[in-house]
Chain A
Amino acid sequence: MIQAQRVTGQDVDHVAKVAGVNVAAQDREDIAARLSELRTAVMQMAGRIPADSGPSVIFDARWED
């Protein structure tokens, strides 16, 4: 399972480095829990929609005029 592992505070720290931000040490575990929970829920919901369905907000190359 791709999503089997829970995110840890250490993972948050690594991603924060990639993102170039400082995450307060006391916030890491809470953030890890939040990321795990949201990722899992969003992927479960994704399993219930057609694989080729797009987002409701589309960032594309259209010109208005």
Chain B
Amino acid sequence: MAETKELHWLSIGEASQLIEKKELSPLELTRAVLERIRAVDGRLKAFVTLLDKEAEAAARTAEESIRRGHYLGPLHGIPVAIKDLYDTAGVKTTSCSKLRASYVPKEDCAVVRKLREAGAIILGKVTTHEFAFGFDSPPTRNPWNLDCTPSGSSGGSGSALAAGMCLGATGSDTGGSIRAPAAVNGIAGIKPTYGRISKRGVAVLSWSLDTTGPMARTVKDLALMLRVIAGHDPLDETTVDILVPDYAAALTGEIRGLRVGVPKNYFFDDVQPPVAEAVRAAIKALESQGASLVEVSVPNSEYLLPTFFSIVIPEAASYHQKTFRERGHEYGEDVRGLLETGEVFLATTYITAQRSRMAFKNAFRETFRGIDVLATPALPVTAAKVGQATYRFRDREEPVFGAFARFCCPFNLVGLPAVSVPCGFSPDGLPIGLQLVGKPFDEASVLRAADAFERTTDYHTRRPRL
């Protein structure tokens, strides 16, 4: 294990306490993280654009401000990385596509604006799958095994966090793009309730499924970031005007009486054995902390994945329609194939999928009458090797895209909040994620359960050898 006391390994919670007490300078912290990036990112390639000078200047300003007594809160002076899907004023925002190679937004997106207002230090932009349409983030590698991908689409964020190249990061999640990289990189990530965080200024993949959200190394750090970036945005009509609670205050470590749903079907089918074992053990750990386990079943589960694809594909094709017709050959091969599919997709299939989605929403509403959170594997598998196309289960091959979306996308379909937290490692040293899902806008319970679990383990403190 690497030394865990180095500044770049501090959590946001730890660093913010030191900064508030003026025992740690934001400039010192930012320089330590930039030094870490210089040391390891040549191998990991998580950063698309490094804003080292700007970050140092912002850290100096933060330091001055705090010295004068203007401490803004737990993100003040904290170095964070931004997924390259998020607009950043005056900084290239490429969506990791040739098509946006020279796009420089004039304004920050809503989330980046909130982060800056809270005093966070923007280190730079990190990779995404092209336009977030895939579970890989080339050329970025997984710090736990450089032959593996960091998944995606927020793979740059996952890799950067796991390697100590930032203390927090932003992600976006349409079918698992925060939770999958969180799981395979051994960090935490939350897809909040649809409508909880503004998406204004973040490139669209699918209007009715997209969510933005935080990624970090601890659940408390997710809570601190979520408090800052959540909230109604009058300029994003999908956001909901509902109170944003103090999520960190909800992390009491106390989960006695919490009703944890354990799926009888679907979520443990075709799961790699080490993943199933780790997740079952995590569920037992929740029980031993006083949670009560409730068996639940998910009706029509075999149709979750096709319903998801029947929505995301045509919505993405609609967003890209003009560009695709003019410059279709400039998309990567996989994204081009998906957009072509969307162009020839029947409207009736799309609308019928939206009708099915309502049935799934009603089914989950019923399920959540008897439980507070649902526990599942975040993914059925550990990280894929670079270039790997499929996973093998007993009697079938499953494409990587399907395997990574299978357990995550149901909660984009129904809009519920879901977190992935580290819950173990496979025998070959790859991280495994536990997914905890909550009721609409009840991110607090999801984070409370995840934090209570995290307190019983050391998975989130383990570091990859680089």
Chain A interface residues toward B at CB < 8 A = 12, 15-16, 19-24, 27, 30-31, 34-35, 37-39, 41-46, 48-49, 53-57, 64
Contacts and interface: CB of A to CB of B under 8 A. Distances in A.
Contact of A21 (B309, B343, B352): B343
Contacts of B361: 56
Given A38-B306, A39-B346, A45-B307, A53 B359 contact: yes
A35 B352 CA distance: 14
Interface of B: 208, 237, 300, 302-303, 306-307, 309-310, 313, 324-325, 328, 336-337, 340-341, 343-346, 349, 351-359, 361
A43 to B, nearest CB: 7
B324 A21 contact: yes
A53 B302 CA distance: 20
B447 to A, nearest CB: 26
Contacts of A44: 303
A56 B313 CA distance: 17
6 contacts: A35-B344, A41-B302, A42-B303, A42-B349, A45-B352, A54-B358
Contacts of A42: 303, 306-307, 310, 349, 352-353, 356
Majority secondary structure of chain A interface residues (helix, strand, loop or mixed):
helix
Contacts of B356: 42, 45-46, 49
B343 A46 contact: no
A7 to B, nearest CB: 9
Nearest to A23: B340
Given A21-B328, A42-B306, A42-B307, A49 B359 contact: yes
A37 to B, nearest CB: 7
Q: For the complex of A and B, list the 9 residue pairs with the smallest distance between their C-beta atoms, beginning with the closest.
A: A55-B354, A41-B306, A45-B303, A15-B344, A56-B358, A49-B359, A45-B356, A23-B340, A21-B343
Given A19-B343, A21-B328, A21-B340, A55 B351 contact: yes
A31 B340 contact: yes
Contacts of B302: 41
Contacts of A49: 355-356, 358-359
A56 B343 contact: no
A45 B340 contact: no
A32 to B, nearest CB: 9
Contacts of B208: 56-57
Contacts of A54: 355, 358
A35 B310 CA distance: 9
B352 A16 contact: no
A55 B359 CA distance: 9
B350 to A, nearest CB: 9
Nearest to B356: A45
Nearest to A15: B344
Given A21-B324, A42-B306, 9 more contacts: A12-B344, A15-B344, A16-B344, A38-B349, A45-B300, A48-B303, A54-B355, A55-B354, A56-B358
